[in-house]
Structure 1
Amino acid sequence: MYRQILIHDDDKQFQRIIFRKSAESPVTDYCLKTVTFGVNCAPYLAIRTLHQLATDTAAIYPLAAPIIRNQTYVDDILSGSHDIDSASESLFQVVNALKSAGFILKKLTANNATILQQYSKEDLLDSNFLKFESAS
Protein backbone atom coordinates (compact mmCIF):
# COMPACT_ATOMS: atom_id res chain seq x y z
CA MET A 1 0.00 0.00 0.00
CA TYR A 2 2.72 2.46 0.93
CA ARG A 3 4.36 2.28 -2.48
CA GLN A 4 1.11 3.51 -4.03
CA ILE A 5 1.15 6.78 -2.07
CA LEU A 6 3.23 9.56 -3.59
CA ILE A 7 4.94 12.08 -1.33
CA HIS A 8 4.49 15.80 -2.00
CA ASP A 9 7.44 17.25 -3.93
CA ASP A 10 8.32 19.59 -1.03
CA ASP A 11 8.73 16.61 1.33
CA LYS A 12 10.73 14.24 -0.86
CA GLN A 13 14.02 15.74 0.29
CA PHE A 14 13.36 14.31 3.76
CA GLN A 15 13.29 10.74 2.44
CA ARG A 16 16.78 10.18 1.14
CA ILE A 17 18.90 7.06 1.07
CA ILE A 18 22.42 6.38 -0.07
CA PHE A 19 23.30 3.18 -1.87
CA ARG A 20 26.10 1.47 -3.68
CA LYS A 21 26.13 -1.90 -5.39
CA SER A 22 29.57 -2.90 -4.08
CA ALA A 23 32.41 -1.55 -1.96
CA GLU A 24 34.10 -0.34 -5.14
CA SER A 25 31.02 1.38 -6.60
CA PRO A 26 30.41 5.08 -6.09
CA VAL A 27 27.81 6.08 -3.50
CA THR A 28 24.54 7.23 -5.07
CA ASP A 29 22.05 9.49 -3.31
CA TYR A 30 18.38 8.66 -3.92
CA CYS A 31 15.28 10.64 -3.09
CA LEU A 32 12.27 8.39 -2.40
CA LYS A 33 8.98 9.39 -4.01
CA THR A 34 6.55 7.21 -2.07
CA VAL A 35 5.71 6.48 1.56
CA THR A 36 8.45 4.30 2.98
CA PHE A 37 7.63 1.16 4.94
CA GLY A 38 9.14 1.29 8.42
CA VAL A 39 9.06 5.07 8.78
CA ASN A 40 7.11 5.88 11.95
CA CYS A 41 4.69 8.18 10.10
CA ALA A 42 3.86 5.63 7.35
CA PRO A 43 0.65 4.27 8.97
CA TYR A 44 -0.60 7.82 9.55
CA LEU A 45 0.12 8.80 5.94
CA ALA A 46 -1.70 5.69 4.69
CA ILE A 47 -4.75 6.34 6.85
CA ARG A 48 -4.80 10.04 6.02
CA THR A 49 -4.61 9.20 2.32
CA LEU A 50 -7.58 6.84 2.67
CA HIS A 51 -9.59 9.49 4.55
CA GLN A 52 -8.94 11.96 1.74
CA LEU A 53 -9.92 9.34 -0.82
CA ALA A 54 -13.18 8.74 1.07
CA THR A 55 -13.92 12.47 0.94
CA ASP A 56 -12.96 12.75 -2.73
CA THR A 57 -15.10 9.79 -3.84
CA ALA A 58 -18.09 10.23 -1.51
CA ALA A 59 -20.34 11.65 -4.25
CA ILE A 60 -19.66 8.74 -6.59
CA TYR A 61 -19.38 5.96 -3.97
CA PRO A 62 -21.55 7.05 -1.01
CA LEU A 63 -21.56 3.62 0.65
CA ALA A 64 -17.79 3.28 0.38
CA ALA A 65 -16.89 6.60 2.01
CA PRO A 66 -17.87 5.73 5.61
CA ILE A 67 -16.39 2.24 5.28
CA ILE A 68 -13.05 3.59 4.07
CA ARG A 69 -13.10 6.32 6.71
CA ASN A 70 -14.30 4.33 9.74
CA GLN A 71 -13.85 0.61 9.13
CA THR A 72 -10.31 0.54 7.77
CA TYR A 73 -6.99 0.22 9.55
CA VAL A 74 -4.02 0.88 7.26
CA ASP A 75 -4.65 -1.79 4.57
CA ASP A 76 -7.28 -3.93 6.31
CA ILE A 77 -11.02 -3.39 5.99
CA LEU A 78 -13.64 -5.09 8.14
CA SER A 79 -17.21 -4.20 7.36
CA GLY A 80 -20.66 -5.70 7.40
CA SER A 81 -24.26 -5.20 6.45
CA HIS A 82 -27.75 -6.31 7.36
CA ASP A 83 -28.52 -7.92 4.01
CA ILE A 84 -26.73 -9.49 1.05
CA ASP A 85 -27.67 -6.83 -1.49
CA SER A 86 -26.32 -3.91 0.53
CA ALA A 87 -23.19 -5.91 1.44
CA SER A 88 -22.58 -6.64 -2.25
CA GLU A 89 -23.11 -3.01 -3.24
CA SER A 90 -20.91 -1.74 -0.42
CA LEU A 91 -18.10 -4.08 -1.43
CA PHE A 92 -18.48 -3.06 -5.07
CA GLN A 93 -18.22 0.62 -4.15
CA VAL A 94 -15.24 0.10 -1.83
CA VAL A 95 -13.37 -1.90 -4.47
CA ASN A 96 -14.00 0.76 -7.12
CA ALA A 97 -13.29 3.76 -4.89
CA LEU A 98 -9.94 2.27 -3.89
CA LYS A 99 -9.17 1.19 -7.46
CA SER A 100 -9.69 4.80 -8.60
CA ALA A 101 -6.61 5.72 -6.53
CA GLY A 102 -4.51 2.74 -7.56
CA PHE A 103 -5.28 0.60 -4.52
CA ILE A 104 -6.28 -2.83 -5.84
CA LEU A 105 -8.00 -4.96 -3.21
CA LYS A 106 -6.90 -8.56 -2.80
CA LYS A 107 -7.78 -11.30 -0.32
CA LEU A 108 -11.48 -10.46 -0.31
CA THR A 109 -13.62 -12.68 1.86
CA ALA A 110 -17.20 -12.83 3.10
CA ASN A 111 -19.33 -15.19 5.11
CA ASN A 112 -21.75 -15.49 2.22
CA ALA A 113 -20.43 -16.71 -1.15
CA THR A 114 -23.06 -14.71 -3.06
CA ILE A 115 -21.28 -11.47 -2.14
CA LEU A 116 -18.06 -12.62 -3.83
CA GLN A 117 -19.50 -14.09 -7.06
CA GLN A 118 -18.52 -11.12 -9.24
CA TYR A 119 -14.84 -11.22 -8.23
CA SER A 120 -12.13 -13.39 -9.72
CA LYS A 121 -10.63 -16.21 -7.67
CA GLU A 122 -7.25 -14.43 -7.75
CA ASP A 123 -8.78 -11.55 -5.76
CA LEU A 124 -10.27 -13.78 -3.06
CA LEU A 125 -8.68 -15.01 0.13
CA ASP A 126 -9.66 -18.62 0.71
CA SER A 127 -13.13 -19.76 -0.28
CA ASN A 128 -13.34 -21.83 2.92
CA PHE A 129 -11.94 -19.14 5.23
CA LEU A 130 -15.24 -18.18 6.87
CA LYS A 131 -17.08 -21.48 6.56
CA PHE A 132 -17.97 -22.76 9.97
CA GLU A 133 -18.44 -26.35 10.96
CA SER A 134 -21.94 -27.20 12.05
CA ALA A 135 -22.30 -27.99 15.73
CA SER A 136 -23.75 -31.45 16.29
Structure 2
Amino acid sequence: MYLQILMREENRDACRFLWWDGERRIRSYRLTRVCFGLKCSPFLAMGTVRSHAQRHEESAPRAAKEVLNNMYMDDLATSCNSVEEAQTLVDQLDSLLASGGFHLHKWASNEPDALRAVPAEKTARGTGGCPGKTLGIFWDRNGDHLTFMEPEKIRPQGGNTKRQMLSAAACVSDPLGCLAPFLVRAKILFQSLWEKGADWDEPLPEEVERPWVNWKQELADLPLCRLPRALVPVPLELTKRIELHAFWDASERAYGEVAYLRLKTPPGSVRVNLVAAKTRVAVKRLSLPRLELMGALTSARLIRFVQGPLRLDIRAISC
Protein backbone atom coordinates (compact mmCIF):
# COMPACT_ATOMS: atom_id res chain seq x y z
CA MET A 1 0.00 0.00 0.00
CA TYR A 2 2.70 2.46 1.00
CA LEU A 3 4.70 2.16 -2.23
CA GLN A 4 1.63 3.09 -4.30
CA ILE A 5 1.60 6.60 -2.83
CA LEU A 6 3.87 9.33 -4.20
CA MET A 7 5.73 11.59 -1.80
CA ARG A 8 5.60 15.33 -2.34
CA GLU A 9 8.68 16.74 -4.05
CA GLU A 10 9.49 19.09 -1.16
CA ASN A 11 9.47 16.18 1.32
CA ARG A 12 11.76 13.81 -0.55
CA ASP A 13 15.00 15.32 0.73
CA ALA A 14 13.99 14.25 4.25
CA CYS A 15 14.05 10.62 3.06
CA ARG A 16 17.56 10.42 1.65
CA PHE A 17 19.83 7.44 2.20
CA LEU A 18 23.38 6.41 1.21
CA TRP A 19 24.19 3.38 -0.89
CA TRP A 20 27.57 1.74 -1.27
CA ASP A 21 28.08 -1.39 -3.32
CA GLY A 22 31.55 -2.05 -1.88
CA GLU A 23 33.53 -0.99 -4.95
CA ARG A 24 32.26 2.28 -6.39
CA ARG A 25 31.83 5.55 -4.59
CA ILE A 26 29.02 6.11 -2.14
CA ARG A 27 25.85 7.30 -3.85
CA SER A 28 23.04 9.38 -2.39
CA TYR A 29 19.44 8.45 -3.17
CA ARG A 30 16.08 9.72 -2.02
CA LEU A 31 12.73 8.00 -1.79
CA THR A 32 9.90 9.09 -4.04
CA ARG A 33 7.22 6.93 -2.41
CA VAL A 34 5.84 6.69 1.10
CA CYS A 35 8.06 4.20 2.88
CA PHE A 36 7.88 1.84 5.83
CA GLY A 37 9.25 3.07 9.13
CA LEU A 38 8.00 6.65 9.06
CA LYS A 39 5.51 7.50 11.80
CA CYS A 40 3.35 9.39 9.32
CA SER A 41 3.18 6.54 6.77
CA PRO A 42 0.07 4.78 8.19
CA PHE A 43 -1.80 8.08 8.33
CA LEU A 44 -0.77 9.02 4.78
CA ALA A 45 -1.76 5.58 3.47
CA MET A 46 -5.21 5.58 5.05
CA GLY A 47 -5.76 9.24 4.21
CA THR A 48 -4.99 8.55 0.55
CA VAL A 49 -7.30 5.52 0.40
CA ARG A 50 -10.13 7.44 2.07
CA SER A 51 -9.64 10.44 -0.22
CA HIS A 52 -9.80 8.12 -3.23
CA ALA A 53 -13.04 6.57 -1.94
CA GLN A 54 -14.60 9.98 -1.31
CA ARG A 55 -13.88 11.03 -4.89
CA HIS A 56 -15.84 8.03 -6.17
CA GLU A 57 -18.83 8.11 -3.83
CA GLU A 58 -21.16 8.93 -6.71
CA SER A 59 -19.86 6.35 -9.19
CA ALA A 60 -19.42 3.51 -6.65
CA PRO A 61 -21.48 4.44 -3.56
CA ARG A 62 -21.59 1.03 -1.86
CA ALA A 63 -17.89 0.27 -2.32
CA ALA A 64 -16.90 3.78 -1.20
CA LYS A 65 -19.10 3.45 1.88
CA GLU A 66 -17.42 0.18 2.86
CA VAL A 67 -13.94 1.66 2.47
CA LEU A 68 -14.86 4.74 4.53
CA ASN A 69 -16.67 2.84 7.30
CA ASN A 70 -15.22 -0.67 7.48
CA MET A 71 -11.57 -0.43 6.40
CA TYR A 72 -8.78 -0.18 8.95
CA MET A 73 -5.28 0.02 7.45
CA ASP A 74 -5.06 -2.92 5.03
CA ASP A 75 -7.98 -4.93 6.47
CA LEU A 76 -11.58 -4.58 5.34
CA ALA A 77 -14.32 -6.57 7.07
CA THR A 78 -18.00 -6.34 6.21
CA SER A 79 -21.19 -8.38 5.81
CA CYS A 80 -23.81 -8.88 3.12
CA ASN A 81 -27.35 -10.21 3.18
CA SER A 82 -26.93 -12.56 0.21
CA VAL A 83 -24.36 -14.25 -1.98
CA GLU A 84 -25.36 -12.09 -4.94
CA GLU A 85 -24.88 -8.91 -2.93
CA ALA A 86 -21.45 -10.13 -1.80
CA GLN A 87 -20.38 -10.93 -5.36
CA THR A 88 -21.42 -7.46 -6.53
CA LEU A 89 -19.58 -5.82 -3.64
CA VAL A 90 -16.42 -7.79 -4.39
CA ASP A 91 -16.44 -6.53 -7.99
CA GLN A 92 -17.08 -2.93 -6.94
CA LEU A 93 -14.40 -2.91 -4.26
CA ASP A 94 -11.85 -4.49 -6.57
CA SER A 95 -12.57 -1.96 -9.33
CA LEU A 96 -12.69 1.05 -7.00
CA LEU A 97 -9.36 0.42 -5.30
CA ALA A 98 -7.62 -0.86 -8.43
CA SER A 99 -8.38 2.45 -10.10
CA GLY A 100 -6.23 4.09 -7.42
CA GLY A 101 -3.42 1.56 -7.73
CA PHE A 102 -4.47 -0.53 -4.72
CA HIS A 103 -5.01 -4.19 -5.56
CA LEU A 104 -7.00 -6.26 -3.07
CA HIS A 105 -5.98 -9.79 -2.20
CA LYS A 106 -6.44 -12.43 0.53
CA TRP A 107 -10.20 -12.44 0.03
CA ALA A 108 -12.07 -14.65 2.50
CA SER A 109 -15.73 -15.46 3.15
CA ASN A 110 -17.81 -17.91 5.13
CA GLU A 111 -19.75 -18.50 1.89
CA PRO A 112 -17.45 -19.94 -0.84
CA ASP A 113 -19.84 -18.97 -3.65
CA ALA A 114 -19.33 -15.30 -2.83
CA LEU A 115 -15.74 -15.54 -4.08
CA ARG A 116 -16.37 -17.76 -7.09
CA ALA A 117 -15.24 -15.05 -9.53
CA VAL A 118 -12.09 -14.18 -7.55
CA PRO A 119 -8.87 -15.79 -8.85
CA ALA A 120 -7.40 -18.38 -6.52
CA GLU A 121 -4.18 -16.42 -6.09
CA LYS A 122 -6.17 -13.52 -4.61
CA THR A 123 -7.95 -15.56 -1.94
CA ALA A 124 -6.72 -16.31 1.57
CA ARG A 125 -4.89 -19.59 1.83
CA GLY A 126 -6.10 -20.87 5.16
CA THR A 127 -5.61 -24.63 5.24
CA GLY A 128 -6.00 -27.40 7.72
CA GLY A 129 -8.94 -25.75 9.46
CA CYS A 130 -6.62 -23.02 10.77
CA PRO A 131 -8.58 -19.77 11.28
CA GLY A 132 -7.51 -16.63 9.48
CA LYS A 133 -6.70 -13.39 11.22
CA THR A 134 -8.35 -10.02 10.82
CA LEU A 135 -7.81 -6.92 12.92
CA GLY A 136 -5.92 -8.93 15.51
CA ILE A 137 -8.69 -11.51 16.01
CA PHE A 138 -8.79 -15.03 14.60
CA TRP A 139 -11.80 -15.79 12.41
CA ASP A 140 -12.88 -19.34 11.67
CA ARG A 141 -14.84 -18.82 8.47
CA ASN A 142 -16.06 -22.42 8.40
CA GLY A 143 -18.05 -21.92 11.60
CA ASP A 144 -18.23 -18.13 11.14
CA HIS A 145 -17.09 -17.33 14.64
CA LEU A 146 -14.28 -15.39 16.28
CA THR A 147 -11.76 -17.21 18.41
CA PHE A 148 -8.35 -16.84 20.02
CA MET A 149 -5.06 -18.71 19.95
CA GLU A 150 -2.48 -19.38 22.63
CA PRO A 151 0.52 -17.05 22.14
CA GLU A 152 3.54 -18.92 20.79
CA LYS A 153 6.17 -17.14 22.89
CA ILE A 154 5.29 -16.32 26.47
CA ARG A 155 8.48 -17.28 28.26
CA PRO A 156 11.30 -14.77 27.62
CA GLN A 157 14.63 -15.34 29.30
CA GLY A 158 14.72 -14.42 32.95
CA GLY A 159 11.89 -16.44 34.48
CA ASN A 160 8.80 -14.95 36.11
CA THR A 161 9.49 -11.23 36.38
CA LYS A 162 7.58 -8.00 35.91
CA ARG A 163 9.12 -7.66 32.45
CA GLN A 164 8.00 -11.14 31.46
CA MET A 165 4.51 -10.50 32.87
CA LEU A 166 4.04 -7.40 30.70
CA SER A 167 5.41 -9.18 27.63
CA ALA A 168 3.15 -12.22 28.04
CA ALA A 169 0.00 -10.21 28.72
CA ALA A 170 0.67 -8.02 25.66
CA CYS A 171 0.79 -11.12 23.44
CA VAL A 172 -2.98 -11.58 23.73
CA SER A 173 -4.75 -9.37 21.20
CA ASP A 174 -8.31 -8.59 22.25
CA PRO A 175 -9.52 -5.30 20.72
CA LEU A 176 -13.21 -6.05 21.40
CA GLY A 177 -12.74 -7.00 25.04
CA CYS A 178 -14.04 -10.55 24.62
CA LEU A 179 -11.41 -11.75 27.10
CA ALA A 180 -11.83 -8.83 29.49
CA PRO A 181 -12.54 -10.95 32.63
CA PHE A 182 -9.41 -12.98 31.90
CA LEU A 183 -7.03 -10.14 30.99
CA VAL A 184 -8.04 -7.93 33.90
CA ARG A 185 -6.51 -10.50 36.25
CA ALA A 186 -3.11 -9.88 34.64
CA LYS A 187 -3.65 -6.12 34.96
CA ILE A 188 -4.37 -6.47 38.67
CA LEU A 189 -1.24 -8.56 39.24
CA PHE A 190 0.85 -6.09 37.29
CA GLN A 191 -0.52 -3.18 39.31
CA SER A 192 0.31 -5.01 42.55
CA LEU A 193 3.96 -5.22 41.44
CA TRP A 194 4.07 -1.46 40.96
CA GLU A 195 2.59 -0.98 44.39
CA LYS A 196 5.32 -3.19 45.85
CA GLY A 197 8.05 -1.31 43.97
CA ALA A 198 9.33 -4.46 42.23
CA ASP A 199 12.08 -4.04 39.66
CA TRP A 200 11.63 -5.18 36.07
CA ASP A 201 13.90 -8.25 36.33
CA GLU A 202 13.33 -9.09 39.97
CA PRO A 203 11.73 -12.51 40.67
CA LEU A 204 8.05 -12.26 41.48
CA PRO A 205 7.01 -12.54 45.14
CA GLU A 206 5.25 -15.78 45.99
CA GLU A 207 1.83 -14.18 46.47
CA VAL A 208 2.03 -12.85 42.89
CA GLU A 209 3.90 -15.68 41.19
CA ARG A 210 1.37 -18.37 42.07
CA PRO A 211 -1.68 -16.67 40.46
CA TRP A 212 0.54 -15.54 37.57
CA VAL A 213 1.63 -19.10 36.80
CA ASN A 214 -2.02 -20.20 36.92
CA TRP A 215 -2.93 -17.37 34.52
CA LYS A 216 -0.28 -18.45 32.02
CA GLN A 217 -1.48 -22.05 32.18
CA GLU A 218 -4.99 -20.92 31.30
CA LEU A 219 -3.69 -19.40 28.04
CA ALA A 220 -3.92 -22.91 26.58
CA ASP A 221 -7.72 -22.67 26.93
CA LEU A 222 -8.06 -19.55 24.77
CA PRO A 223 -9.16 -21.54 21.67
CA LEU A 224 -12.20 -22.66 23.67
CA CYS A 225 -13.48 -19.08 23.64
CA ARG A 226 -15.70 -18.73 20.55
CA LEU A 227 -18.09 -15.92 19.73
CA PRO A 228 -20.38 -15.52 16.69
CA ARG A 229 -18.95 -13.05 14.20
CA ALA A 230 -22.30 -11.68 13.06
CA LEU A 231 -23.99 -9.37 15.55
CA VAL A 232 -27.10 -9.42 13.35
CA PRO A 233 -27.20 -12.96 11.89
CA VAL A 234 -30.46 -12.36 10.00
CA PRO A 235 -31.37 -9.76 7.33
CA LEU A 236 -32.17 -6.41 8.88
CA GLU A 237 -35.64 -6.36 7.31
CA LEU A 238 -36.51 -9.44 9.39
CA THR A 239 -35.62 -7.84 12.72
CA LYS A 240 -38.54 -6.34 14.65
CA ARG A 241 -36.56 -4.48 17.28
CA ILE A 242 -32.88 -3.80 18.07
CA GLU A 243 -31.75 -2.75 21.53
CA LEU A 244 -28.36 -1.85 22.99
CA HIS A 245 -27.70 -2.57 26.66
CA ALA A 246 -24.69 -1.83 28.85
CA PHE A 247 -23.81 -3.23 32.26
CA TRP A 248 -21.02 -2.38 34.66
CA ASP A 249 -19.61 -3.45 37.98
CA ALA A 250 -16.76 -2.46 40.27
CA SER A 251 -14.62 -3.90 43.03
CA GLU A 252 -11.78 -2.55 45.10
CA ARG A 253 -9.27 -3.80 42.49
CA ALA A 254 -10.96 -3.17 39.13
CA TYR A 255 -14.09 -2.02 37.35
CA GLY A 256 -15.46 -2.67 33.90
CA GLU A 257 -18.35 -2.43 31.51
CA VAL A 258 -19.87 -4.52 28.72
CA ALA A 259 -22.31 -3.80 25.88
CA TYR A 260 -24.79 -6.29 24.39
CA LEU A 261 -26.98 -6.11 21.30
CA ARG A 262 -30.48 -7.57 21.71
CA LEU A 263 -32.43 -8.53 18.59
CA LYS A 264 -36.06 -9.52 18.39
CA THR A 265 -36.94 -11.50 15.30
CA PRO A 266 -40.08 -13.29 14.17
CA PRO A 267 -41.78 -15.34 15.44
CA GLY A 268 -40.87 -13.72 18.74
CA SER A 269 -37.37 -15.17 19.16
CA VAL A 270 -34.63 -13.12 20.84
CA ARG A 271 -30.89 -13.09 20.18
CA VAL A 272 -28.28 -11.44 22.41
CA ASN A 273 -24.68 -10.90 21.28
CA LEU A 274 -21.66 -9.36 22.92
CA VAL A 275 -20.57 -6.11 21.25
CA ALA A 276 -17.61 -4.89 23.31
CA ALA A 277 -16.22 -4.78 26.82
CA LYS A 278 -13.58 -2.84 28.71
CA THR A 279 -11.85 -3.17 32.07
CA ARG A 280 -9.65 -0.89 34.14
CA VAL A 281 -7.72 -1.41 37.33
CA ALA A 282 -9.00 0.65 40.22
CA VAL A 283 -7.22 3.90 40.95
CA LYS A 284 -5.82 4.07 44.46
CA ARG A 285 -7.58 6.11 47.13
CA LEU A 286 -11.03 5.78 45.54
CA SER A 287 -13.98 4.45 47.53
CA LEU A 288 -16.13 1.60 46.22
CA PRO A 289 -19.14 3.90 45.59
CA ARG A 290 -16.84 6.19 43.59
CA LEU A 291 -15.62 3.24 41.54
CA GLU A 292 -19.23 2.24 40.87
CA LEU A 293 -19.81 5.73 39.52
CA MET A 294 -16.70 5.39 37.36
CA GLY A 295 -18.15 2.17 35.96
CA ALA A 296 -21.42 3.93 35.16
CA LEU A 297 -19.53 6.74 33.41
CA THR A 298 -17.36 4.43 31.33
CA SER A 299 -20.32 2.24 30.37
CA ALA A 300 -22.11 5.33 29.00
CA ARG A 301 -18.96 6.17 27.06
CA LEU A 302 -18.82 2.62 25.74
CA ILE A 303 -22.42 2.87 24.51
CA ARG A 304 -21.61 6.10 22.73
CA PHE A 305 -18.46 4.59 21.26
CA VAL A 306 -20.14 1.51 19.73
CA GLN A 307 -23.41 3.14 18.72
CA GLY A 308 -21.93 5.06 15.78
CA PRO A 309 -19.98 2.22 14.11
CA LEU A 310 -22.93 -0.17 14.45
CA ARG A 311 -25.06 2.03 12.16
CA LEU A 312 -28.26 0.21 13.16
CA ASP A 313 -31.79 1.42 13.87
CA ILE A 314 -31.53 0.98 17.63
CA ARG A 315 -34.91 1.49 19.26
CA ALA A 316 -33.84 1.40 22.91
CA ILE A 317 -30.63 1.99 24.85
CA SER A 318 -30.18 1.16 28.51
CA CYS A 319 -27.15 1.78 30.63
TM bracket (short chain):
0.7 to 0.9
What's 1:131 paired with?
142
SS of aligned partner of 1:118? coil
Say if 2:26 is the partner of 1:27. Answer: yes
What's 2:15 paired with?
15
Structure 2: how far apart are the matches of 1:7 and 1:36?
9
Shift of 1:61: 1.2
Say if 2:67 is the partner of 1:56. Answer: no
Give the aligned CA root-mean-square deviation in angstroms: 1.8
Structure 1: how far apart are the matches of 2:69 and 2:21?
44
SS of aligned partner of 1:63? helix
Divergent runs of 4+, >3 A: none
Shift of 1:25: 3.1
Gapped regions of structure 1 (runs ≥ 5)? none
Structure 1: how far apart are the matches of 2:37 and 2:69?
24
CA offsets, 1:82-122, max 9 Å, x none?
A: 22222222221111111111111111011111110111111
Which amino acid counterpart does residue 3 of structure 2 have in structure 1?
Answer: R
SS of aligned partner of 1:29? strand
What's 1:71 paired with?
70
Shift of 1:9: 1.9
Which amino acid counterpart does residue 116 of structure 2 have in structure 1?
Answer: Q
Gapped regions of structure 2 (runs ≥ 5)? 132-140, 145-319
TM score, norm. by length of structure 1: 0.88
Shift of 1:127: 6.5
SS of aligned partner of 1:119? coil
Structure 2: how far apart are the matches of 1:19 and 1:102?
29
What's 1:109 paired with?
108
Identity of aligned residues (%): 27
Structure 1: how far apart are the matches of 2:85 and 2:126?
21
CA offsets, 1:42-97, max 9 Å, x none?
A: 10011001111101222221111111112111111111122222222222111111
Q: Which has the larger radius of gyration?
A: 2
TM score, norm. by length of structure 2: 0.39
User: What is the aligned length?
Assistant: 132
CA offsets, 1:23-48, max 9 Å, x none?
A: x5322111101111111111001100
Work out which structure has the larger RCO, using CA pairs closer than 8 Å and 6 or more positions apart in sequence.
1
